[in-house]
Amino acid sequence: MADLKNEGRIQKLKGKVQSTWGSITDDDYDKAQGNRDQLVGVIKEKTGQAEEEIRRILDGLDKEDDR
């Protein structure tokens, strides 16, 4: 059951990431393989946005699910 919940959370975050950074594709997201640091790297590479800003935004997107 916990695995399904985690998978659902991952899918929600994926949608939010793609909504926030429109240039991030499914393939880009899959490259990160669930690793937050790799996801930050992919977003940084595609957008040129600062790593700290990406992390701040990701934290906010992830916390939205906790409410």
Query: Is 49 inside any structural domain?
Result: yes
- pTM of the full predicted structure? 0.80
The domain total for the chain is: 1
Model pLDDT, residue 45? 95
Query: Is 30 inside any structural domain?
Result: no
Query: Is 1 inside any structural domain?
Result: no
Query: Is 9 inside any structural domain?
Result: no
Query: Is 8 inside any structural domain?
Result: no
Model pLDDT, residue 54? 97
Q: What is the pLDDT of residues 8-66, one digit of tens each?
A: 788 888 899 999 999 999 999 888 887 889 999 999 999 999 999 999 999 999 887 65
Model pLDDT, residue 2? 44
Nearest to 40 by CA among 16, 27, 56, 60: 56
Query: Is 54 inside any structural domain?
Result: yes
